[in-house]
Each structure stands twice: as C-alpha cells, then as structure tokens.
Amino acid sequence: MNAFSYVTAQTAGSAVELVRERGRFLAGGMDLLGEIKDGLAEPAVLVNVKALPGTREIVVAKDKVVIGANVTLATLAEHAEAKKLLPALAQAADAVGSPQMRNVGTVGGNLAQHSRCWYYRQRDVRCVKKGGSRCFARGGENKYHSLFTKNMCLSPCVSNLAVALSALDAAVVVQRGAKTVTLAIAQLYERAWSEPKAHHSLAADELILRVEVPVAAGARSAYVRIAEKNEFDWALVSCVAAGRIEGGKLRGVRVALGSVAPIPWQVKEANAALEGREPTAENAAKAAERLLKDAEPREQIGYKIPIAQALVKRAVTALAG
C-alpha cells in the first residue's frame, strides 16, 4: 500500500479542488478502503467528505424528499417519513449488506461504488475494466454478471439504491467544478453502459451532494430481491416498481431491475405495457417479457431470467397494497 495524505474537506468546492491531485473522495470507506487494501486503488490523497455541511440530512418537502449524500444507509432505512413516502428506497437501503455496513455506508458511496466482479477485484488480473483488453467473465465464471451490456465488460451495477432511485425517477445533484449539475439516474450511469472502464458517469473530481426524489400524492413503490444469503450479500437480481394506483389501475409506473446490466435496467415499452392496467400477475408477466426481451443469457447467467420474471410479478402486484 502506498503512503497517502488524508484531509477533511469543509466545503464541496475545496473537496473537488483537493481530490484533483490523484485523490479519491472518502465517505464510509466500505468500498474504497477495500480497493486500497486489495491494491486496486492507489490514491495520493483521501478527501474525507463526511463533514460537508448539509450532506447528512433528509429533508421532506411538499413534492420531494431530499437526501444528503452522507446520510447513512441505516438512517435512510429507518427514517419514518422515507419509509412511508418512498418504501422501495427504505427497503433497498435496509437490504444492503449487514447492520454494521448500513451504519457506515452512505448514499453517495453506495451510488458511486465500484464493480464487484471477482476478476476486477483480483489485483493480478488486468481485465478490460482496468484498461486491459479482455473481459475474463466472458467464457469464464460469470454467474453474477450481466444479462445486458453494450460494452465488453460484463460486470453489473449492484447498487441497491441505484435501482430504487431509477424507478422512483430521482435526480442526483453533483458538484462539477464551481457549479452544481442535476443528473437523472440514467445519466449518472450512462457511461457504464458504453465504456468498459466506467462504473458510472462521474469524473474523478465530481462529487455527489444530494439525491432528490419526487413524491406524488398516492405514490406507491416496492423493492424485492433474491440473493444467495439473506444478510451480508448482494442481490442476484433485484426489482423495484413505483407508480400510482387510480381507480384500481396503474398510472405512471416504472419498473427497474438491478444486477442484470451495468446500469439500472428500465425499458420504456415495459412501463408502457402497465399503464392503465391492473397490478395483476398476468399484466406484470407481459411487462417482464418486454423488460427481458433483449437479454443475452451467457453460459452461467440464464438462471437470472426466471428470477427477474418472478420479481417483476412480486414488485408490480405489491403496488396493489
């Protein structure tokens, strides 16, 4: 491990300045410290961002919930109003890792976490995500990998919050240089869809400040997942459905799958197939068919398709209440 400096930033502007010299933002450290210990990251400076003002709060406004980047997953999972207004998000936070990890891991760190692919995490393997020329999961051990991707890397986005926030149509406010910009979740991950080295779309000096989640009257949502273990494990596949029920019919519904692509996976036609329909298993199955239409089930990944179909049914029917 290389020697590095450690600084605590007091403003977002200074955090961005400080990280420019081969630095990395440090929040809970659950992901980043593992990368440093495993020899995958060699920052010259760790910029602790947890002291940034206004980033550890959840604020409930009339039409949105604003969640600071340094809110812990445990705080989000246990927040009474978040649980009531955004159940899928609270459930997704509650499903991360273990209680100890949720006490430490943050919203920003969870969204910006790096690939968990076992080839990427092995220090001696120079895979395409580290600038090499091959994805070793292709033709190798790929049971935890993607059903969909546009680039050579098969590793999926496994952030629980990403899939929930995608279905909830959230926006992420990011410090970019001296300005702030607002990104949709699709924009936050779009680079990972086409560029094998990218985990998300943020440059090394772009800092997540907060997440803004719209809340409409009567909005409902549900997060479901299947994992090999109930605790301390990532989902094999997860699914979030979010929308409203008016007169027994679904309105404005979005369904997103997690752990099946380098981005939270949504398909417009699948959402459209549910519009104005009842939240039944039959209608959910039709949406799942559209969601999974372009899946490429490689050697060991095909088992994710029936799991995804089952989870779409569970999440959509859960909206019935």
Ligand X SMILES: Cc1cc2nc3c(=O)[nH]c(=O)nc-3n(C[C@H](O)[C@H](O)[C@H](O)COP(=O)(O)OP(=O)(O)OC[C@H]3O[C@@H](n4cnc5c(N)ncnc54)[C@H](O)[C@@H]3O)c2cc1C
CA dihedral 15, 21, 26, 30 (to 10 degrees): 160
Q: Is 112 in the site for ligand X (CB under 6 A)?
A: yes
Hey, what are 69's tokens? Answer: 């980047």
Site string for ligand X, 8-27 (x = CB under 6 A): ----------------xxxx
Looking at 68, 87, 97, 262, which residue binds ligand X (CB under 6 A)?
97
Site string for ligand X, 222-241 (x = CB under 6 A): ----------x-xx------
Q: Is 106 in the site for ligand X (CB under 6 A)?
A: yes
Q: Is 120 in the site for ligand X (CB under 6 A)?
A: no
Q: Is 109 in the site for ligand X (CB under 6 A)?
A: yes
Q: Is 69 in the site for ligand X (CB under 6 A)?
A: yes
Q: Is 308 in the site for ligand X (CB under 6 A)?
A: no
* Cα distances (Å, whole numbers) of residue 266 to 2, 13, 313: 41, 34, 15
Q: Is 94 in the site for ligand X (CB under 6 A)?
A: no
Q: Is 210 helix (H, G, I), strand (E, B) or coil?
A: strand
The answer to whether 202 touches 219, Cβ cutoff 8 Å, is no
CA dihedral for 269, 145, 124, 206, sign (positive or negative): positive
The residues, any chain, with a CB within 8 Å of residue 114's CB and separated by 6 or more, are 31, 35, 40, 120, 199
Residues 143-202 close enough to bind ligand X by CB under 6 A: 158-160, 202
> What's the rounded Cα separation, in Å, for the pair 87 and 31?
25
Q: Is 208 in the site for ligand X (CB under 6 A)?
A: yes
Looking at 16, 30, 71, 308, which residue binds ligand X (CB under 6 A)?
30
Hey, what are 78's tokens? Answer: 């246990």
Nearest to 260 by CA among 129, 168, 137, 148: 148
Min dist CB 160 to ligand X, Å, is 4
Which residues in 10-28 are b (16+ Cβ under 10 Å) and which e? eebeebbbbbeeebbbbbb
Looking at 68, 87, 105, 279, which residue binds ligand X (CB under 6 A)?
105
Q: Which residue is nearest to ligand X (CB)?
A: 109
Min dist CB 64 to ligand X, Å, is 19
Looking at 65, 87, 90, 108, which residue binds ligand X (CB under 6 A)?
108
Which residues would be at the binding site for ligand X (CB under 6 A)? Answer: 24-32, 49, 69, 96-97, 101, 104-106, 108-110, 112-114, 158-160, 202, 207-208, 232, 234-235
